Amino acid sequence: MTKTAMNVTHTDGAARTGLLTTPRGVVETPVFMPVGTRAAVKTLDTADLERLGPPILLANTYHLMERPGADLIAARGGLHTFMAWDGHILTDSGGYQIFSLEPKITADGARFRSVYDGAYVDLSPEKATLVQEQLGSDIAMVLDVCSALPAEPETLRRDMDLTLQWAERCRSAHRHPTQAQFGIVQGGVELDLREESAQRTVELDFDGYAVGGLSVGESRHKMVPALAAATRNLPVDRPRYFMGLGDPVGLVEAVNNGVDMFDCVLPTRLARHGTALTSQGRLNLRNLRFADDDGPIDPDFQHDLSGRYSRAYIRHLLVTNEPTAGRIITLHNLAWLANLTERMRSAIAQGTFEALRREVHDVWLSGSKSGEDGPAAS
């Protein structure tokens, strides 16, 4: 019995809107999910997030089992109580740390050197499942192996097969009565592997399905066919999640291929370095030309939490290293992406998604309208 229901409400080509229902509530899709790796979105608190209104936040299994520990969080009622957050939470399994920290990988799992104290840390599919149950997230991910690209087909097959073995073990270990569990499709940019991985993962009957191992440095023209090969083999009535995607062109391409959910650190990381997402493209607000600019970050999108501040003021904060600058731009960037997903939902419902897709391409692939700041990288 699945713990999520996906009701598709509108389609425009492969793009779709829907209602994702869990025991906690209903989420409109497509949806962008801010990343709170250590149970906090950097520079923001829960009150900020409540005013921004994202229906789902992400947290990370590896980091939270290290600090402060899953037992400690469980003893305090789980992540929702610990964070004072009533919305949905999705927990990554630690699979990204297998990709980024390069631990020793065996059939049993991964052995890390702790990023905190250097001690050995073991993470098996069963432990990743148990820790996420202790955290009490609404959606838990299986432990996977994400191949660094480019990679030889033999390497991609090995990592795909191990991901499938681990997925079966995660499925068998999962006991939480209300927590959904998502499988992860791997296979790099090899179309046959993506199709096979999707088909074999679906056979394990997860509550939803993620596409992993893309947007890790491969070109867009290789990413999109690999994504399409995966999504066309996933069931219509289960949510589809593209892991680690946050640039505007990537988002419209993912939605164009039937994806419902996505997350990325990009909007918050850019914000802390002074860069805003706008209708004109990416703006580096440290630029001297903003020193006497009294206009808002984005004249075409002025959110209540960030639209009151001028570019001149934010630049002043940036060049004097005031943390408030990162906070204001983070609020703006997350609100801006939420607005983009809302526009995508509306366009799909109206049958005009292709026009919106072209608009995003025009701005973000050919530089800003002013031609000075350029597009964001994925």
Known catalytic residues are: 92, 263
HSE value, Cβ hemisphere, 13 Å, CA-based, for 193 = 26
Following DSSP, what letter does each residue of 179-230 receive, concatenated?
-EEEEEE--TT-HHHHHHHHHHHHTT--SEEEE-S-SSS--HHHHHHHHHHH
For residues 182-213, b (16+ Cβ closer than 10 Å) or e, as one string? bbbbbbbbbeebbbbbbebbbebebbbbbbbb
Contact 260, 6 (CB under 8 A): yes
Contact 208, 238 (CB under 8 A): yes
Q: Which residue do the tokens 């394990």 mark? A: 204
Contact 348, 17 (CB under 8 A): yes
Q: How far apart are CA 7 and CA 21, in angstroms?
A: 8
Which helix (DSSP H) or strand (DSSP E) does residue 338 occupy? helix 324-350
Cβ-in-10-Å burial (0-12, 13-18, 19+) of 40 comes to middle
